[in-house]
Amino acid sequence: MADGKRLRSAKRGGKYGRVSAEDIKQQTSSSSDDTKRRNKYEPRSAGEIRKSKTQTGTSGKDAISTGKASEKEARWEFDEKDPAAIAKSVQSLVMRLKKSGALKTIKEEFMRLKKYNPEGSTKAFKENEMYNRYNEIELLDKTRVILKNRGSDYIHASRVMVGNNMFICTQGPLDSSKESFWAMVIQEKVKLIVMLCKLVEDGKEKCVEYFPRNGGTSIVGSYKINAFDRKVISDADGATCGRLDVLFEGKTHTVEHIWYENWADHTAPENFKATVELIRLARKKRQNAPVIVHCSAGVGRSGCFVAIEMAAHIAATTSCFSMEMVLKAIRDQRMHSIQNDMQYLYVYRGFVEYLIDRGVIKRLDVLKFINDYDNLMRRKRRKDVDESKGKEPKEEQKAKAKDEEYTPSVYFNVDYKYFY
């Protein structure tokens, strides 16, 4: 990456070596005096990014499809940019993916970036342990959502700017934080929640039931939630979408709720196309408001989901795209996002599918990478099935047969041999 090159958009951002949350905000910030006076670490409010014109709501009763974006959606630089210009930006990425050993190269890239996290205070996180689902998933003060008019202003949630569009990445609500979750929905005027986990996975709670999943009504503190019209989303691996009406202080706030359950913690989903479909649907339903995205910790699956959108934005606003820029841009706003090499590989795969879907590149251009990735996922799936049945994975059986003096280092090489 050339040291002198910078992000290009409406305004210039940070250098290629580090794309910070502040860099992303600077690209799309208003030129008004109020915006100029904003503290450099203060994230923009939902009101500042929401367009003034009134948006029509979604009834939730229509058939759920992910068709083309409407003119009333938020502005997405990727869709406005000439595909040829984006193709030039991702040219080096495509060249890398054409080469043999691309999976290994990507894994090595992640291992180099694995420990990257931005500098910044995490004081509120340390002072609110009872509201944190995981003690190791820190929260940056400078991008955290601050609740108003409550006893505590704390919730484990971060504002993540993708151009002029805001996502709020948050952990799966706890019993101690589910009322704060709904307070955030109302405060930020959220119109869409994307849930990427089950309530319980492998016998462990990942998220409390903060809404009536089987329809009907539930009471969460001062909030009354009514659920309606949950339907299966086409081409999205069983994901569903329903309408939630939230009654608070005599007013009803309507939010749509997308729920994708077929994505296990710390892994990549088997159906990579599902996420692309959900991203498309989220664009339709966000109504220029912040989108809440959560899994269990709010950094792995949620980080991957937002990273694909971030990749599209950066590809449209730079002359030389790299996935390193994407990971840093996400983590500069939501610490620990994208937790492991499989998730990092998945962001590559999802973004490649996005580029193909938008006609920027041809599938044939990256067919080797696609085949290698798909083969890796099939082998991993077989291994997971064997382990669930109490069988020793075939790869390890072969390794033992070849080497009677089997060692842990041999196991490591076998476990990751598809990267080499």
Q: Which of 193, 253, 191 is nearest to 224 (CA)?
A: 253
Could you give the residue ranges of the DSSP H alpha helices within 4-138?
21-28, 33-36, 46-49, 77-80, 83-89, 91-98, 102-113, 123-127
Structure confidence at residue 27 (pLDDT): 39
Measuring CA to CA, which residue among 347, 377, 305, 362 is closest to residue 109? 347
Query: What pLDDT, on a 0 to 100 scale, did the predictor assign at position 54?
Result: 36
Share of the chain above pLDDT 90, in %: 60
Q: Which helix (H) or strand (E) holds 157?
A: strand 157-162
The alpha carbon torsion through 141, 318, 193, 255 (nearest 10 deg) reads 110
pLDDT of residue 390: 67
Q: What is the rounded (10 degree) CA torsion for 336, 45, 277, 105?
A: -30
Q: What is the pLDDT of residue 22?
A: 45
Q: Do residues 133 and 210 make contact, with C-beta atoms less than 8 angstroms apart?
A: no
Share of the chain above pLDDT 70, in %: 72
Is the Cβ–Cβ distance between 278 and 259 less than 8 Å?
no
Which DSSP string do the residues of 178-236 spell out, in sequence order?
HHHHHHHHHHTT--EEEE-S-SEETTEESS---S-TTSEEEEETTEEEEEEEEEEPTTS
Report the SS3 class of residue 38. coil
Residue 377 and residue 350: Cα distance in Å, rounded? 14
- CA atoms of 396 and 383, how far apart (whole Å): 10
CA distance 295 to 276: 17
Domains in the chain (CATH in brackets) are 106-368 (3.90.190.10)
Q: Pairing between strand 291-294 and 165-170?
A: parallel
At residue 253, the pLDDT reads 98
For 229, the token pair is 């019209």
Q: Do 338 and 107 touch, CB atoms closer than 8 A?
A: no
**pLDDT by 10s per residue, the chain, length 420:** 444 433 333 333 333 334 444 443 443 343 333 333 333 323 334 444 343 333 333 333 344 544 443 334 445 566 667 888 899 999 999 999 999 999 999 999 999 999 999 999 999 999 999 999 999 999 999 999 999 989 999 999 999 999 999 999 999 999 999 999 999 999 999 999 999 999 999 999 999 999 999 889 999 999 999 999 899 998 888 899 999 999 999 999 999 999 999 988 888 887 778 888 899 899 999 889 999 999 999 999 999 999 999 999 999 999 999 999 999 999 999 999 999 999 999 999 999 998 998 899 999 999 999 999 999 988 887 776 666 666 555 555 554 444 333 333 222 232 322 222
Q: Among residues 56, 63, 57, which one has the least CA distance to residue 241?
A: 63
Q: How far apart are the first and last CA of the chain?
A: 25
| Calpha distance 209→225 (Å, rounded) | 12
Type of residue numbered 370: I
Helix (H) or strand (E) holding 300: none
- The pLDDT, as a whole number, for residue 138 is 97
CB atoms within 10 A of CB 114: 14
The pTM (predicted TM-score) of the whole model is 0.76
